Each structure stands twice: as structure tokens, then as C-alpha cells.
Amino acid sequence: HDTQTIARAADRAEDASYVRALQASERMMMTSIEEVNWRVSYQAQSIKCYG
């Protein structure tokens, strides 16, 4: 292997882990957004029922 091939392989590996990290944080963000939405709708229902 020449150094360029090795460098390119390292770049690809870095890209892959970057993409994985991005997807993981995206999933976490979606989860927290869904949680907030659920809380808000739950509170709205409580207000409708009891308020």
C-alpha cells in the first residue's frame, strides 16, 4: 500500500465514525423532542380534563 491509499482508508474510517456519531446524536435529539411533545400534549390533556 502506498501512503495515499492508507490515508484514504483512514479518511473513510473517520467519515464512517463521524456519520455514526451524527446519527446517534440525531436519534437522541429526536427522542428528546418526542418526549417534550408528549409532555406538552399530556399537560394540555390534563388542563382540559381538570382545568
Confidence at residue 6, expressed as pLDDT on a 0 to 100 scale: 87
The total domain count for the chain is 1
CA within 13 Å, CB half, 40: 6
- In angstroms, the Cα distances linking 17 to 10, 21, 25 are 11, 6, 12
**Domain enclosing residue 45, as ranges:** 1-51
Confidence at residue 51, expressed as pLDDT on a 0 to 100 scale: 64
Residue 4 has which C-alpha cell? 495515499
Q: What is the pLDDT along the chain (51 residues), one digit of tens a residue?
A: 789 998 898 889 899 999 999 999 999 999 999 999 999 998 888 888 776
Distance in angstroms (rounded) separating the CA atoms of residues 39 and 45: 10
- Check residue 51 and report its DSSP letter: -
